[in-house]
Amino acid sequence: DGFKVKSTQTSSFDETWRPVWGETATIRNHYNEMAVNLHQPSSDRDITIRFRVYDYGMGLRYEFPQQQTLNYFVIKEEHTQFAMTADHTAYWIPGDYDTQEYEYNITPLTGIRAVIAKHREAYKSNSSTTVFSNTGVQTSLQLKTKDGLYINIHEAACLDYPTMHLNLDDKNLVFESWLTPDAVGRKGFIQTPFNTPWRTVMVSDDARDMLSCKLTLNLNEPCKIEDTSWIHPTKYCGVWWNMIVGTKSWSYTNDLPSVRLGVTDYAKCKPNGTHGATNEEVKRYIDFAAKNGLQEVLVEGWNEGWEDWFGHQKLDVFDFVTPYPDFDIKMLNDYAHAKGVKLMMHHETSSSALNYERHLEDAFNLMNKYGYDAVKTGYVGDIIPRGEYHYSQLMNNHYQHVIETAAKHHIMVNAHEATRPTGICRTWPNLVGNESARGTEYEAFGGNVAYHTVMLPFTRLQGGPMDYTPGIFETRLSDWSQNPSFVHTTLCGQLSLYLVMYSPLQMAADLPEHYEKYDDAFQFIRDVACDWDDSKYLEAEPAQYITVARKAKGTDNWFVGGKTGEEARTAVVRLDFLDKGRKYACAIYQDAKGADYEHNPKAYQIIHKTVKKGDVLKINEARGGGFAVSLIAK
């Protein structure tokens, strides 16, 4: 209360910067800025509110300069408000302090309360959930007005601060910031000088702008890693999908009621016969990666402790350095390197952040010793320190500590179940991926709605790329396992995700033997890039369809992907982006006649032709389907 405007300063800024990896080779950062300096006479305190306004959106943040009367303080609440002009259509998931692994709802703003109330008990089925309000939602929040205006609300550069949600006053249609608390309800501990994260709004009458404008990245600081030569976009496969589906296990034995690190003797235990991370199985994946041009092989369940890793709030879960008896870490890394492939490390923390930080240096030193350059981290379950949430200030600082420590060891990080990204990958580009949303694994747990992957680019991907783990060809899991679930896309819909769901880290997630059955379709995964010089969004509508064309880094080759939701459609791909006077060998991977994600998911056809600039491709997309196109310059 009682703040007075002391002064204001305005300025303009225009730069073009080059990301280490990304959808485009360069990004323009052009804005007008206003800093409003406020003074509170009653306490003699100063605060600055800084605004940056772009052609396509804006950001604001609160800045607290160091001062005698405001040095250390605790945040009770943050009351940033976003007032809606009408009962807009919202594409949303419930506000939750621990997970984003939800399917998106599409309702008017006034419909949020009824949906959360109806499903509140069902939301508890995840490993760790904390839905805090009947009208709370998570960012990035996508909205659409009745007259066709698209609005997106998010945050950027969330550092040393809790993750922001939005809570709706559904009578007055006003969203207010809702910060994730710590274990005793406090929102944040601050020492000045300090800047909050940016609160961001994008606005356009063209849905494609929601996907192409880089507001979140631009509001982060430039790269802090001097030598980035060791950071590289990666295609990988791995020992993972079998465990998710249920035909293999992470654990080595069924003999143990519990495990105690440094005490349990696995040499005396009988193998369970279903362990996935065996020497033989890992070598099979290495051979497959080497044969098909994949750079790395992820191996989950390689280390001791999986027998009782989950659900016990156990502090000392893993040490991240001790392999099971049937995983020869030196032999397997030597074998991989001899074939031009690397193994990708897996560190599931079981949400014991305290334990992970104690072992972090030893774990990264082991990776350096054996030539690992990437790690997939995981945070399944309730956080230790007990009572903390996945998105609290303390845990956000933990994730950042892991990223910065990994950078010192020249290790790339792919964090699962961590906080949602807010563009920090610009500053720390060794953060090559996050999960932080409902990924492909849920296709084995009952499925994702067909429009899920044409919703995520408008929401979750606003803050950074997602390791969605696409590429499932055998979509009916009961054909090869006891799992009754099915993947809610067609086979060509899976191919489209390598373009639609942008990431510099892309997995060929299915089993090698499944890809061998559909080798002609797998050719697209062999060919497609995962780093780009240019990207052009050709068609887009939230939850309905996305069509995007991308130019592979350092080449003249283009790839196009289109994905649809619950309704079949015909995509119109105008090849105006191709070089004039040049011909391209075009391969179109598309849903065949009669394809359908429920009834005929594996029906596809591949069409080869020669195309040039100005040609138009009209491609039928099945319900839940999609297409992929490679355009190789002649």
Please report the DSSP string for 316-350 in residue order: ----SS-B-TT--HHHHHHHHHHTT-EEEEEEE-T
**Residue 225 pLDDT > 90:** yes
Length of the chain: 634
Note the pLDDT of residue 126: 82
Q: What is the mean pLDDT of the chain?
A: 97
581: left (phi over 0), alpha (psi -120 to 50) or beta: left
Confidence of residue 122 (pLDDT cuts 50, 70, 90): confident
How would you classify the pairing of strands 198-204 and 194-195? Answer: unpaired
Phi, psi of 288 (to 5 degrees): -65, -45
CA atoms within 13 A on the CB side of 531: 15
Catalytic residues: 441
Note the pLDDT of residue 254: 97
Note the pLDDT of residue 8: 98
The predicted model gives 378-393 an average pLDDT of 97
Confidence of residue 453 (pLDDT cuts 50, 70, 90): very high
Tokens representing 438 are 């409902």
Note the pLDDT of residue 124: 82
Note the pLDDT of residue 121: 87
Note the pLDDT of residue 249: 98
Note the pLDDT of residue 81: 98
**Residue 286 pLDDT > 90:** yes
pTM over 0.85: yes
**Distant-in-sequence, close-in-space partners of 530: CB < 8 Å, separation ≥ 6:** 233, 234, 235, 498, 503, 504, 505, 506
Torsion of CA 253, 258, 259, 263, to 10 degrees: -110
Confidence of residue 24 (pLDDT cuts 50, 70, 90): very high
| DSSP labels, 196-211 | PPEEEEEEESSHHHHH
DSSP state for residue 430 in the 8-state scheme:
T
Helix axes 491-500, 519-527, angle to 10 degrees: 0
How far is it between the farthest Cα atoms of the chain? Answer: 75
Note the pLDDT of residue 123: 87
pLDDT tens-digit series, residues 235-263: 999 999 999 999 999 999 999 999 999 99
Phi, psi of 392 (to 5 degrees): -75, 170
Note the pLDDT of residue 127: 83
pLDDT tens-digit series, residues 81-98: 999 999 999 999 999 999
Helices (H) and strands (E) in the chain, counts: 11, 31
Task: Please provide the distance, in angstroms rounded to a whole number, between the alpha carbons at the two ends of the chain.
Answer: 67
Whole-angstrom Cα distance, residue 353 to residue 128?
Answer: 15
Whole-angstrom Cα distance, residue 323 to residue 611?
Answer: 52
**Residue 150 pLDDT > 90:** yes
Burial class (CB in 10 A: 0-12, 13-18, 19+), 258: exposed
pLDDT tens-digit series, residues 475-495: 999 999 999 999 999 999 999
**Residue 125 pLDDT > 90:** no
